[in-house]
Amino acid sequence: MLIISTIPHDHDGTHGGKNRFECRTCPYQMILDRKYYERKNMDLKGAEDVLGGADSWKNVDQAESFTPSPPPGPSEKMSRVFPNLIRKT
């Protein structure tokens, strides 16, 4: 596996301060005398539902709301959803 390292100034007077490819297991070195550049566009992963999507709220505990908020319309009923928390003791 090659790593990129800097050549010390006192090591070699002609190439001191330049970068090189260097192998950690053998004496291989390659002096980088020009700029190397490569651009890669990475695709973003789609967001996934953490809690299971829209169907995960079907069978949860619900209660009527008694908090002061604007009244619902004539066909709406106010309710709050409470997730079940399972604790290990």
- Does pLDDT of 77 surpass 60? no
CB 7 within 8 A of CB 19: yes
Q: How far is CA 23 from the centre of its chain?
A: 31
**Nearest residue to 4 via CA among 27, 20, 18, 15:** 20
Q: Read off the tokens for 2.
A: 């090659």
CB 24 within 8 A of CB 3: yes
Cα gap 69→85, rounded to integer Å: 26
Summarised one tens digit per residue, pLDDT across range 17-74 is: 888 899 999 999 898 888 888 899 988 877 666 666 667 667 766 666 665 656 655 5
What does the domain layout of the chain look like in residue ranges?
2-31
- Rounded to two decimals, the pTM is 0.36
